[in-house]
Amino acid sequence: MAQQAHAGAAMAGLPPPLPVPTPFQAKFANKFNDTSNDPTGGNPATIMSPFLYDVNNAQNNTETQQIKNKLASSGAARHLLAAIIMTGGVARVYVLPFRWDDGLTNNNPTLRDKFFAMEGELLNNQPYTVEIDARVFSLINNTVAVSTVANLVNAYTNDATVEMTGPHQANDAGTEPKKSRPLIALPHFLVPLFLSQPNGVSPRYFWTNVYPVITGMGMEGQCSALVEYFQIAATSQGQAGDPSVLNTTRPVPPVRNEALIQHQQSLLEYHFPQLSSNVVQQQTNQVAGVLAQMAHNQQQQYEEGKREREAAKVTTVEKWLGKELFTKLLRLLRVSSEAELVAACPVYLEMAKAPKSQRMRTFQTKIDAVWTSRGNKYMTYVVATAWFQNFVNMEWGRANDDSLITGFLGNLFAFGEQDEVAQQALNLRAEYAQSGDHAISSDDAEKILKIVINPPRPDKSLDNLKRLDVVCTVALPAAHPFRLYVSEYTRHFENFKSKWEGVQTREHCDQGCKDILHAQFVSLRLTKYWKDQAMSDITVALPSPTELMDSIEYQREWEPRLSPGLRQALKFDQFSRLFGQSPSSLGNGRDDATQVSDLTGTTGSASTASVLNSILHQLQQQAGQQATSTGAGSGGGGRTGGGGTENRSVENTSFNATLFGEYKTRQVNGRVVRSKDVREAVRAGRLPALPTSKVPGNNQSMCLAWHTKGQCSQSCPLSADHVPYTDTEYQPLCGWCSANYPSE
């Protein structure tokens, strides 16, 4: 027993047996993904230039026989190359093409001077060998009038139904003459992308998925022969919808030939030594691979702590946003994939890779860089925390026509004047809160969650447009229709500025609010676009960028109707009184900035990991109660009507004369309307119920006397509602009074 125990202990000290490696699966895509296997050294022009045809100077072109010989030479050297042939309307990949050349000892008349290749990816380590018809090397007979690259990109990007273009006539606008061959070499870095499409690469796939990769790597010049090839491939011959002139018969397998089979096997074993019939060598390689993996695992374990801390680090935009928001982003930006998104708007990947607390700063840095590049050192725009959350939640259109705190790219009011220093300080506090290293006070949380809206002063809405234009430059692709619309609208409105200053509003008293009306005019159109585009897979049309100017020139009505609630939120009447006298009395004051604070509205549909929910969570922990928006409910009630023994009057020191002054003194039939009479009308059902008090846990109505008369009885049963309200919290009562308060 002792000996057995000793033997067991000795065996326990031995390392575990090596795991048996899984059977090797050879894949061409893996070989081509390894840049060290690229015989061109990363310069696609090496193999592409012989296929580039100069229609203006035939002496610059490579003859067909030379191309055959060059390809045969590369095949004999067993270079890792691939070519494509257009068959059945799609480009198929042919790997390791070569020509069978007889030698002194391997004569084979059946194969002599014929070209062969392996079509597509390997299947179970076996190739699909086909014979390449020599005719695919020859130039097409005539040049073809094809759409320019810019026109093709635009056509495939903006219309999901386009498969082919043309046919065109020579000298048609937007076309150019091109010529090529049915067979063309394929750049090393693109082969895996082509192999990923087992049914071939269509012209649409090339222009929407492959071309953005080429441009993203700055390879347009070196791949110009391939680009021209697909210009022709996208052009119908004869009738619209017909295949291109490049289309040819699909290569077929040759008659079984033992010499050819042995050659293909040796070619595969050359590029994939793991497929060698030498079992001993294969096992040695497998064991070496396992040992290397074990060493790699040890290194991974050494760094495991660091990796775990960074496990949540985002490396893709989709992982950052989640599938649903990412899909919506692609639709809004009119791109089809993350590769195309990153090529068009790199800021999204930069934000995805940044720490959570630094994403807004990354976005802000890009905005600042645009101001600098435009040479504008007098204007700025600081993205508020709540607005940034609107942005990343894809809430780009306003929730409704009266909303001032939603719709980041559909709300011109969001781009008004700011206290940049104060906003930057708040953003820094938000970063600290998001990092988890700093506590946040209740007061700080409330300030961070507040959205401040400064309605544009007279003749200042142009500045809002300029700020929106800069943000669009960062957030949208260069050719995005919305970005172009904002840029063109801003340019036309700036040119129109001198006339705009003299435009009179429909109501003379609204003259000081003309730019508020303009901001609403623009916001309605911006929001409509984003709401429509979010539901559409094709590009949504935008109105003319000169619509406003044209309406004014033709004396058509242009002023939008503002609801009572929106007028109150914007302090429209205050602006009218302050700025409506004359242009010389407008001044530069900013005391009438409207502050809109609605915690629920600012968070939108953010995930629990969002900046604002993180702040809300801390606020809840510290305050011990839920931080929610108030003043949005409805209910009934009125002023106290007696029944108590104490009837001393109590003054509302926070009485809002701007909102309720007219109700305090309103008369009907020569008598001031009493709150008691209004309450009796509510109780009798002649008037609808009053809004519910904002006080938590209080389900009674608001006290009408306290809020509309500025005083009440100390014994009022609704005295719990005798508390200050903000302008926003007063909106339900303002709406009720506007619709129901007795009048002549």
For every residue of 647-691, which 3-state class applies, written as one string? CCEEECCCCCHHHHHHHHHCEECCEECCHHHHHHHHHCCCCCCCC
The answer to whether residue 642 is domain-embedded is no
Same domain, 283 and 387: no
Both 675 and 578 in one domain: the answer is no
Q: Write down the residue that tokens 């890009």 correspond to.
A: 366
Q: Are 187 and 223 in contact (CB under 8 A)?
A: yes
pLDDT in tens, 526-536: 999 999 999 98
| Cα angle, residue 312 at apex, residues 309 and 317 outer, rounded to 5° | 145
294, 224: one domain:
no
Number of domains in the chain: 4
Q: CA angle 217-218-222, nearest 5°?
A: 110
Query: What pLDDT shows up at residue 11?
Result: 47
Over its C-alpha atoms, the chain yields an Rg (Å, rounded) of 36
- Listed in sequence order, the DSSP H helices in 562-610 are 564-570, 572-579, 599-603
Of the two residues 32 and 600, the one the predictor is more confident about is 32
**Do residue 446 and residue 570 come from a single domain?**
yes
Give the residue, 687 or 604, on which the prediction is more confident: 687
Contact of 505 with 563, CB cutoff 8 Å: no
Please compute the mean of the pLDDT values over residues 428-436 and round it to a whole number: 54
Is position 383 within any domain? yes
* One domain, residues 45 and 173: yes
* This model's pTM is above 0.85: no
Co-location of 374 and 509 in the same domain: yes
Residues 662 and 534 in one domain: no
Asked if residue 347 belongs to a domain, the reply is: no
What is the structure's pLDDT at 632?
29
Q: Does 243 have pLDDT greater than 70?
A: yes
Assess whether pLDDT exceeds 90 at residue 212. yes
Structure-token pair, residue 538: 């094709």
Asked, for residue 257, whether it belongs to a domain, the answer is no
Question: Which tens digit of pLDDT belongs to each residue from 445-477?
Answer: 555 556 778 889 888 999 999 999 999 999 999
| Count of other CB atoms within 10 angstroms of residue 269 | 15
Q: According to the model, what pLDDT value does residue 383 have?
A: 87
Q: Could you tell me if residue 312 is inside a domain?
A: no
DSSP 8-state secondary structure symbol assigned to residue 49 = G
Question: What is the tens place of the pLDDT at every residue in 692-708?
Answer: 999 888 888 999 999 99
Last residue of a domain, one of 569, 584, 599: 599
The predicted pLDDT at position 554 comes to: 93
Whether the predicted pLDDT of 434 surpasses 80: no
Residue 478, in any domain of the structure: yes
Using the 8-state DSSP alphabet, how is residue 15 labeled?
P
Verify cis geometry, omega within 30 degrees of 0, for the bond prior to 167: yes
Same domain, residue pair 410 and 482: yes
Domain that holds residue 543: 354-599
Structure tokens at 547: 């619509």
Instruction: Show which of 233, 248, 268 is a domain's final residue.
Output: 233
Task: Report the Cα 599 to chain-centroid distance in Å.
Answer: 25
CA distances from 327 to 204, 281, 332, 334, 371 (A): 20, 49, 9, 11, 30
pLDDT at position 631 is: 30
The answer to whether position 429 is within a domain reads yes
Residue 692, CA distances (Å) to 351, 563, 658, 732 in order: 43, 22, 21, 9
- Enumerate residues 6+ apart whose C-beta is below 8 A from 485: 529, 542, 545
**Long-range CB contacts for residues 531-539, cutoff 8 Å, separation at least 24:** 531/397, 531/410, 533/331, 533/332, 533/482, 534/328, 534/331, 534/332, 534/394, 534/396, 534/397, 536/331, 537/160, 537/331, 538/158, 538/159, 538/160, 539/158, 539/159, 539/334, 539/481
Q: At residue 488, what is the residue type? A: E
The per-residue pLDDT for 476 is: 95
Please state at what angle helix 359-373 crosses helix 420-435, rounded to 10 degrees. Answer: 150
For residue 613, give the DSSP letter: H
Specify whether 665 is located in the same domain as 735: yes
**Given the structure tokens 């409105």, which residue do they identify?**
493
**Three-state secondary-structure class, residue 250:** coil
Domain boundary among 541, 574, 599: 599
Same domain, 423 and 533: yes
68 lies in some domain: yes
pLDDT digits (tens, 9 = 90+) for 73-93: 998 899 999 999 999 999 999
Residue 23 has what pLDDT?
A: 75
Query: Facing residues of 328 across strands?
Result: none
Query: Does the pLDDT value for residue 616 go beyond 80?
Result: no
Q: Residue 693, exposed/middle/buried by CB under 10 A (0-12, 13-18, 19+)?
A: buried
Check whether residue 62 and residue 199 sit in a common domain: yes
Are 396 and 529 members of one domain?
Answer: yes
Query: How many residues are given for the chain?
Result: 744
